[in-house]
Amino acid sequence: MTASGFSALRVVAVDRDTPESVLLSLDAGNDPAFSFAHGQYLTFRHEVDGIELRRSYSICATAPSGTLRVGVKRVDGGAFSTWATSAVRVGDVLEAMAPMGSFTHALDPEAARVYVLVAGGSGITPIYSIAATVLAEEPQSRVTLLQVDSTTSSIMLLDDVEALRNRYLDRFRIWRQLTQEPAGLSLLDGRPDEDSLAECLRRGMLDTDPDHVFLCGPEPLVELVTKVYTKLGVGPERIHTERFTTAQSGRARTRMQGPVDESVTPIGSGTAQLAGRRTEFSLYDGDTILDAVQRVRPDVPYACTAGVCSTCRAHLADGTVEMGVTYGLVPGEEDAGYVLTCQAVPTTSTVNVDFDA
Protein backbone atom coordinates (compact mmCIF):
# COMPACT_ATOMS: atom_id res chain seq x y z
CA MET A 1 0.00 0.00 0.00
CA THR A 2 1.26 3.49 -0.80
CA ALA A 3 1.28 6.40 1.64
CA SER A 4 -1.88 7.62 -0.08
CA GLY A 5 -3.78 4.52 1.04
CA PHE A 6 -3.98 2.99 -2.44
CA SER A 7 -2.67 -0.44 -3.47
CA ALA A 8 -1.82 -1.82 -6.88
CA LEU A 9 -4.22 -4.49 -8.14
CA ARG A 10 -3.44 -6.43 -11.30
CA VAL A 11 -6.27 -6.99 -13.76
CA VAL A 12 -6.54 -10.74 -14.35
CA ALA A 13 -9.71 -10.81 -16.45
CA VAL A 14 -11.86 -8.37 -18.40
CA ASP A 15 -15.25 -9.84 -19.29
CA ARG A 16 -17.83 -8.02 -21.37
CA ASP A 17 -21.03 -8.20 -19.33
CA THR A 18 -23.49 -6.10 -21.35
CA PRO A 19 -22.89 -3.72 -24.28
CA GLU A 20 -22.38 -0.99 -21.67
CA SER A 21 -20.54 -2.80 -18.91
CA VAL A 22 -17.53 -4.94 -18.10
CA LEU A 23 -16.54 -7.15 -15.19
CA LEU A 24 -12.97 -6.57 -14.03
CA SER A 25 -11.34 -9.33 -11.98
CA LEU A 26 -8.41 -8.19 -9.88
CA ASP A 27 -5.54 -9.83 -8.07
CA ALA A 28 -4.53 -8.27 -4.76
CA GLY A 29 -1.66 -10.71 -4.28
CA ASN A 30 -3.10 -12.33 -1.12
CA ASP A 31 -3.03 -8.99 0.69
CA PRO A 32 -5.24 -9.63 3.78
CA ALA A 33 -6.39 -6.00 3.64
CA PHE A 34 -8.35 -6.97 0.54
CA SER A 35 -10.52 -9.66 2.10
CA PHE A 36 -14.02 -8.23 2.00
CA ALA A 37 -17.55 -8.51 3.33
CA HIS A 38 -20.57 -8.96 1.06
CA GLY A 39 -21.90 -5.61 -0.14
CA GLN A 40 -18.60 -3.72 0.20
CA TYR A 41 -16.92 -1.69 -2.52
CA LEU A 42 -13.51 -0.69 -3.84
CA THR A 43 -12.49 2.91 -4.45
CA PHE A 44 -10.29 3.43 -7.51
CA ARG A 45 -8.34 6.42 -8.64
CA HIS A 46 -7.28 7.28 -12.15
CA GLU A 47 -5.96 10.44 -13.72
CA VAL A 48 -7.74 11.89 -16.74
CA ASP A 49 -6.31 15.05 -18.35
CA GLY A 50 -4.28 15.78 -15.22
CA ILE A 51 -7.28 15.49 -12.89
CA GLU A 52 -7.45 12.67 -10.37
CA LEU A 53 -10.81 10.93 -10.50
CA ARG A 54 -12.03 8.59 -7.79
CA ARG A 55 -14.86 6.18 -8.21
CA SER A 56 -16.33 3.46 -6.03
CA TYR A 57 -17.52 0.17 -7.51
CA SER A 58 -19.17 -2.62 -5.58
CA ILE A 59 -17.47 -5.98 -5.35
CA CYS A 60 -19.61 -8.56 -7.12
CA ALA A 61 -18.21 -11.79 -5.70
CA THR A 62 -18.83 -14.19 -2.85
CA ALA A 63 -17.29 -12.95 0.42
CA PRO A 64 -14.91 -13.18 2.10
CA SER A 65 -12.41 -14.79 -0.20
CA GLY A 66 -13.88 -14.84 -3.67
CA THR A 67 -11.94 -13.34 -6.54
CA LEU A 68 -12.09 -9.59 -6.32
CA ARG A 69 -14.37 -8.52 -9.13
CA VAL A 70 -16.17 -5.28 -9.87
CA GLY A 71 -18.78 -4.44 -12.46
CA VAL A 72 -18.40 -1.10 -14.24
CA LYS A 73 -21.18 0.34 -16.36
CA ARG A 74 -20.38 3.11 -18.83
CA VAL A 75 -22.18 6.34 -18.09
CA ASP A 76 -22.68 9.04 -20.74
CA GLY A 77 -19.98 11.64 -20.24
CA GLY A 78 -18.36 9.60 -17.48
CA ALA A 79 -14.60 9.87 -17.96
CA PHE A 80 -13.75 7.14 -15.48
CA SER A 81 -16.36 4.63 -16.58
CA THR A 82 -15.59 5.23 -20.26
CA TRP A 83 -11.93 4.49 -19.60
CA ALA A 84 -12.69 1.46 -17.41
CA THR A 85 -15.10 -0.10 -19.91
CA SER A 86 -13.01 0.46 -23.03
CA ALA A 87 -9.30 0.80 -22.26
CA VAL A 88 -8.52 -1.52 -19.34
CA ARG A 89 -6.76 -4.73 -20.39
CA VAL A 90 -5.59 -7.91 -18.68
CA GLY A 91 -2.21 -7.21 -17.07
CA ASP A 92 -2.94 -3.54 -16.37
CA VAL A 93 -2.49 -2.33 -12.81
CA LEU A 94 -5.28 -0.36 -11.13
CA GLU A 95 -4.95 1.61 -7.93
CA ALA A 96 -7.59 0.86 -5.31
CA MET A 97 -8.18 1.37 -1.61
CA ALA A 98 -8.96 -1.63 0.60
CA PRO A 99 -12.64 -2.72 0.62
CA MET A 100 -14.97 -0.44 2.57
CA GLY A 101 -18.65 0.09 3.20
CA SER A 102 -21.39 -0.73 5.65
CA PHE A 103 -23.94 -2.09 3.16
CA THR A 104 -23.50 -5.48 4.78
CA HIS A 105 -24.49 -7.38 7.93
CA ALA A 106 -23.42 -10.14 10.29
CA LEU A 107 -24.00 -13.61 8.88
CA ASP A 108 -25.19 -16.50 11.03
CA PRO A 109 -24.64 -20.01 9.62
CA GLU A 110 -27.24 -21.38 12.08
CA ALA A 111 -29.98 -18.92 11.13
CA ALA A 112 -32.95 -19.61 8.87
CA ARG A 113 -33.62 -16.08 7.71
CA VAL A 114 -35.79 -14.57 5.03
CA TYR A 115 -34.18 -11.95 2.78
CA VAL A 116 -35.68 -9.59 0.24
CA LEU A 117 -33.15 -8.00 -2.11
CA VAL A 118 -34.08 -5.26 -4.57
CA ALA A 119 -31.64 -4.08 -7.23
CA GLY A 120 -32.09 -1.30 -9.77
CA GLY A 121 -29.70 -1.34 -12.77
CA SER A 122 -26.08 -1.69 -11.69
CA GLY A 123 -27.35 -1.94 -8.11
CA ILE A 124 -27.21 -5.67 -8.81
CA THR A 125 -23.43 -5.62 -8.24
CA PRO A 126 -23.46 -5.46 -4.41
CA ILE A 127 -26.80 -7.29 -4.32
CA TYR A 128 -25.25 -10.22 -6.20
CA SER A 129 -22.46 -10.38 -3.61
CA ILE A 130 -25.03 -10.34 -0.80
CA ALA A 131 -27.17 -13.06 -2.41
CA ALA A 132 -24.22 -15.32 -3.24
CA THR A 133 -22.69 -14.94 0.21
CA VAL A 134 -25.93 -15.42 2.16
CA LEU A 135 -26.85 -18.51 0.15
CA ALA A 136 -23.38 -19.99 0.67
CA GLU A 137 -22.93 -19.06 4.33
CA GLU A 138 -26.48 -19.46 5.68
CA PRO A 139 -27.64 -22.83 4.31
CA GLN A 140 -31.12 -22.50 5.82
CA SER A 141 -31.89 -18.95 4.68
CA ARG A 142 -34.13 -18.02 1.76
CA VAL A 143 -33.54 -15.15 -0.64
CA THR A 144 -35.93 -13.33 -2.98
CA LEU A 145 -34.51 -10.91 -5.53
CA LEU A 146 -36.51 -8.25 -7.34
CA GLN A 147 -34.27 -6.99 -10.14
CA VAL A 148 -35.38 -3.84 -11.96
CA ASP A 149 -33.81 -2.80 -15.26
CA SER A 150 -34.76 -1.23 -18.57
CA THR A 151 -34.31 -4.12 -21.02
CA THR A 152 -33.03 -7.70 -20.88
CA SER A 153 -29.86 -6.75 -22.76
CA SER A 154 -28.94 -4.14 -20.15
CA ILE A 155 -29.16 -6.50 -17.16
CA MET A 156 -25.78 -6.80 -15.50
CA LEU A 157 -24.58 -10.13 -14.09
CA LEU A 158 -27.43 -11.99 -15.78
CA ASP A 159 -25.43 -15.22 -16.23
CA ASP A 160 -24.05 -15.07 -12.68
CA VAL A 161 -27.48 -14.55 -11.14
CA GLU A 162 -28.94 -17.37 -13.24
CA ALA A 163 -26.11 -19.67 -12.17
CA LEU A 164 -26.92 -18.82 -8.58
CA ARG A 165 -30.58 -19.64 -9.19
CA ASN A 166 -29.68 -23.02 -10.69
CA ARG A 167 -27.42 -23.79 -7.77
CA TYR A 168 -29.91 -22.83 -5.06
CA LEU A 169 -33.22 -23.61 -6.78
CA ASP A 170 -35.08 -24.28 -3.54
CA ARG A 171 -33.86 -21.19 -1.66
CA PHE A 172 -33.42 -18.45 -4.25
CA ARG A 173 -36.16 -16.94 -6.39
CA ILE A 174 -35.95 -14.04 -8.80
CA TRP A 175 -38.47 -11.57 -10.20
CA ARG A 176 -37.39 -9.29 -13.01
CA GLN A 177 -39.19 -6.03 -13.69
CA LEU A 178 -38.40 -4.30 -16.99
CA THR A 179 -39.28 -0.70 -17.70
CA GLN A 180 -38.84 -0.72 -21.50
CA GLU A 181 -39.96 -4.17 -22.65
CA PRO A 182 -42.50 -6.78 -21.52
CA ALA A 183 -41.25 -8.72 -18.52
CA GLY A 184 -43.46 -11.76 -19.12
CA LEU A 185 -45.83 -10.97 -16.24
CA SER A 186 -47.87 -7.79 -16.73
CA LEU A 187 -47.52 -6.92 -13.06
CA LEU A 188 -43.79 -6.56 -13.68
CA ASP A 189 -44.01 -4.31 -16.74
CA GLY A 190 -42.94 -0.70 -16.24
CA ARG A 191 -41.52 0.95 -13.16
CA PRO A 192 -42.42 -0.44 -9.76
CA ASP A 193 -44.79 1.69 -7.73
CA GLU A 194 -46.66 1.28 -4.48
CA ASP A 195 -49.53 -0.54 -6.19
CA SER A 196 -47.35 -3.05 -8.04
CA LEU A 197 -45.31 -3.75 -4.92
CA ALA A 198 -48.50 -4.18 -2.87
CA GLU A 199 -49.74 -6.70 -5.42
CA CYS A 200 -46.40 -8.56 -5.36
CA LEU A 201 -46.69 -8.73 -1.57
CA ARG A 202 -50.33 -9.84 -1.73
CA ARG A 203 -49.46 -12.64 -4.16
CA GLY A 204 -46.56 -13.78 -1.98
CA MET A 205 -43.95 -12.90 -4.62
CA LEU A 206 -42.23 -10.76 -2.00
CA ASP A 207 -42.15 -11.64 1.70
CA THR A 208 -44.13 -9.34 3.98
CA ASP A 209 -41.99 -9.81 7.09
CA PRO A 210 -38.39 -10.42 6.00
CA ASP A 211 -35.52 -10.51 8.47
CA HIS A 212 -33.45 -8.30 6.19
CA VAL A 213 -34.18 -6.09 3.19
CA PHE A 214 -31.24 -4.92 1.07
CA LEU A 215 -31.94 -2.19 -1.48
CA CYS A 216 -29.51 -0.75 -4.02
CA GLY A 217 -30.39 1.45 -6.95
CA PRO A 218 -31.52 4.93 -7.89
CA GLU A 219 -32.92 7.10 -5.13
CA PRO A 220 -36.63 6.84 -6.09
CA LEU A 221 -36.55 3.03 -6.09
CA VAL A 222 -34.76 2.85 -2.75
CA GLU A 223 -37.19 5.38 -1.24
CA LEU A 224 -40.22 3.54 -2.61
CA VAL A 225 -39.27 0.10 -1.29
CA THR A 226 -38.13 1.54 2.04
CA LYS A 227 -41.51 3.23 2.42
CA VAL A 228 -43.44 0.06 1.57
CA TYR A 229 -41.52 -2.11 4.05
CA THR A 230 -41.55 0.56 6.75
CA LYS A 231 -45.36 0.66 6.46
CA LEU A 232 -45.37 -3.10 6.96
CA GLY A 233 -43.54 -2.61 10.26
CA VAL A 234 -40.04 -3.59 9.16
CA GLY A 235 -37.70 -1.50 11.31
CA PRO A 236 -34.76 0.54 9.99
CA GLU A 237 -32.27 -1.91 11.49
CA ARG A 238 -33.59 -4.51 9.04
CA ILE A 239 -33.64 -2.25 5.97
CA HIS A 240 -30.20 -1.73 4.44
CA THR A 241 -29.85 0.78 1.62
CA GLU A 242 -27.29 1.99 -0.87
CA ARG A 243 -28.08 4.72 -3.35
CA PHE A 244 -26.53 5.90 -6.58
CA THR A 245 -25.36 9.42 -7.08
CA THR A 246 -24.15 11.12 -10.21
CA ALA A 247 -20.68 11.08 -8.62
CA GLN A 248 -20.82 7.33 -8.19
CA SER A 249 -22.12 6.74 -11.66
CA GLY A 250 -19.05 8.22 -13.24
CA ARG A 251 -19.28 11.96 -13.53
CA ALA A 252 -16.48 14.22 -12.44
CA ARG A 253 -16.44 14.55 -8.70
CA THR A 254 -17.39 17.71 -6.91
CA ARG A 255 -14.38 19.98 -6.76
CA MET A 256 -12.92 20.20 -3.31
CA GLN A 257 -11.31 23.30 -1.88
CA GLY A 258 -7.78 23.60 -3.21
CA PRO A 259 -4.71 25.22 -1.68
CA VAL A 260 -5.43 28.40 0.21
CA ASP A 261 -3.94 31.83 -0.44
CA GLU A 262 -1.49 32.35 2.41
CA SER A 263 -2.81 35.84 3.06
CA VAL A 264 -6.21 34.43 4.04
CA THR A 265 -6.72 34.02 7.77
CA PRO A 266 -8.00 30.66 8.99
CA ILE A 267 -11.30 30.71 10.85
CA GLY A 268 -10.48 27.70 12.96
CA SER A 269 -8.35 24.63 13.38
CA GLY A 270 -8.48 20.97 14.29
CA THR A 271 -6.73 17.66 14.41
CA ALA A 272 -7.25 14.49 12.44
CA GLN A 273 -6.28 11.03 13.66
CA LEU A 274 -5.56 8.98 10.56
CA ALA A 275 -3.63 5.75 10.07
CA GLY A 276 -2.28 5.96 13.60
CA ARG A 277 -0.98 9.51 13.25
CA ARG A 278 -2.47 12.79 14.50
CA THR A 279 -2.16 15.82 12.22
CA GLU A 280 -3.18 19.43 12.80
CA PHE A 281 -5.09 21.35 10.15
CA SER A 282 -6.41 24.87 9.59
CA LEU A 283 -10.01 25.64 8.70
CA TYR A 284 -10.93 28.27 6.11
CA ASP A 285 -14.27 29.77 5.30
CA GLY A 286 -16.46 27.26 3.44
CA ASP A 287 -14.27 24.26 4.20
CA THR A 288 -15.68 20.86 4.83
CA ILE A 289 -13.56 18.84 7.23
CA LEU A 290 -12.42 16.77 4.27
CA ASP A 291 -11.22 19.89 2.42
CA ALA A 292 -9.19 20.95 5.44
CA VAL A 293 -7.70 17.55 6.18
CA GLN A 294 -6.80 16.87 2.57
CA ARG A 295 -4.45 19.89 2.48
CA VAL A 296 -2.22 18.33 5.12
CA ARG A 297 -2.97 14.62 4.70
CA PRO A 298 -3.20 13.59 1.04
CA ASP A 299 -3.88 10.04 2.23
CA VAL A 300 -7.26 11.00 3.69
CA PRO A 301 -9.83 8.54 2.31
CA TYR A 302 -12.69 9.79 0.15
CA ALA A 303 -14.49 8.86 -3.06
CA CYS A 304 -17.91 10.24 -4.00
CA THR A 305 -17.71 13.55 -2.07
CA ALA A 306 -21.52 13.42 -2.19
CA GLY A 307 -22.40 11.93 1.18
CA VAL A 308 -23.22 8.52 -0.20
CA CYS A 309 -20.30 6.12 -0.12
CA SER A 310 -19.06 6.59 3.48
CA THR A 311 -15.38 6.36 2.47
CA CYS A 312 -14.69 9.66 4.28
CA ARG A 313 -16.47 8.67 7.53
CA ALA A 314 -14.82 9.69 10.80
CA HIS A 315 -15.71 10.07 14.45
CA LEU A 316 -16.15 13.64 15.63
CA ALA A 317 -14.30 13.73 18.93
CA ASP A 318 -14.69 17.48 19.60
CA GLY A 319 -16.71 20.29 18.08
CA THR A 320 -19.92 20.43 16.08
CA VAL A 321 -20.72 20.35 12.37
CA GLU A 322 -23.58 20.79 9.94
CA MET A 323 -23.95 18.06 7.34
CA GLY A 324 -25.70 17.99 4.00
CA VAL A 325 -26.37 14.53 2.57
CA THR A 326 -25.82 11.70 5.05
CA TYR A 327 -26.91 8.62 3.13
CA GLY A 328 -23.49 7.07 3.80
CA LEU A 329 -24.21 6.75 7.52
CA VAL A 330 -26.20 3.78 8.76
CA PRO A 331 -28.93 4.29 11.40
CA GLY A 332 -27.43 5.15 14.77
CA GLU A 333 -24.04 6.30 13.50
CA GLU A 334 -24.86 10.00 13.54
CA ASP A 335 -26.10 9.75 17.13
CA ALA A 336 -22.89 7.90 17.99
CA GLY A 337 -20.87 10.89 16.76
CA TYR A 338 -19.87 9.75 13.29
CA VAL A 339 -19.75 12.24 10.44
CA LEU A 340 -19.17 12.18 6.71
CA THR A 341 -16.28 14.58 6.46
CA CYS A 342 -17.06 15.47 2.83
CA GLN A 343 -20.39 16.86 4.05
CA ALA A 344 -19.38 18.19 7.47
CA VAL A 345 -18.91 21.96 7.69
CA PRO A 346 -17.68 22.89 11.18
CA THR A 347 -19.86 25.19 13.28
CA THR A 348 -17.24 25.49 16.02
CA SER A 349 -13.77 26.98 15.60
CA THR A 350 -12.17 23.71 16.70
CA VAL A 351 -12.98 20.24 15.47
CA ASN A 352 -11.10 17.04 16.19
CA VAL A 353 -11.86 13.97 14.11
CA ASP A 354 -10.73 10.38 14.22
CA PHE A 355 -10.71 8.46 10.94
CA ASP A 356 -9.38 5.34 12.70
CA ALA A 357 -12.37 5.02 15.07
Cβ closer to ligand FES: 293 or 308? 308
Q: Which of 62, 91, 58 is nearest to 73 (CA)?
A: 58
How many residues lie near ligand FES (CB under 6 A)?
13
Which of the stretches 27-35, 125-133, 226-234, 298-306 binds ligand FES when contact is defined by CB under 6 A? 298-306
42 near ligand FES, judged by CB under 6 A:
no
40 near ligand FES, judged by CB under 6 A:
no
What is the rounded distance in angstroms from the CA atom of residue 84 to the CA atom of residue 347?
39
What is the rounded distance in angstroms from the CA atom of residue 149 to the CA atom of residue 75?
15
Helix (H, G, I), strand (E, B) or coil at 225: helix
* Minimum distance from residue 336 beta carbon to ligand FES (Å): 17
* Minimum distance from residue 43 beta carbon to ligand FES (Å): 9
Cβ closer to ligand FES: 72 or 303? 303
Helix (H, G, I), strand (E, B) or coil at 313: strand
Residues 327-356 that bind ligand FES (CB under 6 A): 328, 340, 342
310 near ligand FES, judged by CB under 6 A:
yes
245 near ligand FES, judged by CB under 6 A:
no
309 in Cβ contact with 56 (< 8 Å):
yes
303 near ligand FES, judged by CB under 6 A:
yes
Residue from 80, 168, 172, 302 touching ligand FES (CB under 6 A): that is 302
Amino acid at 319: G
What is the rounded distance in angstroms from the CA atom of residue 290 to the CA atom of residue 306?
12
Cβ closer to ligand FES: 66 or 307? 307
Longest C-alpha distance within the chain, in Å?
Answer: 69
Q: Which of 135, 132, 127 is nearest to 155 (CA)?
A: 127
339 in Cβ contact with 321 (< 8 Å):
yes
Amino acid at 5: G
* Minimum distance from residue 325 beta carbon to ligand FES (Å): 8
Amino acid at 102: S
Which of the stretches 112-120, 197-205, 271-279, 307-315 binds ligand FES when contact is defined by CB under 6 A? 307-315
What is the rounded distance in angstroms from the CA atom of residue 205 to the CA atom of residue 287?
48
* Minimum distance from residue 122 beta carbon to ligand FES (Å): 17
Residue from 129, 226, 294, 305 touching ligand FES (CB under 6 A): that is 305
Which of the stretches 13-21, 123-131, 145-153, 309-317 binds ligand FES when contact is defined by CB under 6 A? 309-317
Cβ closer to ligand FES: 62 or 310? 310
Which of the stretches 116-124, 223-231, 259-267, 297-305 binds ligand FES when contact is defined by CB under 6 A? 297-305
Cβ closer to ligand FES: 79 or 198? 79
Cα 39 to the chain's mean position, in Å? 7
Cβ closer to ligand FES: 159 or 322? 322
What is the rounded distance in angstroms from the CA atom of residue 350 to the CA atom of residue 290?
14
What is the rounded distance in angstroms from the CA atom of residue 33 to the CA atom of residue 265?
40
Q: Give residues with Cβ within 8 angstroms of 139, minimum separation 6.
A: 109
| Residues making contact with ligand FES (CB under 6 A) | 302-305, 307-312, 328, 340, 342
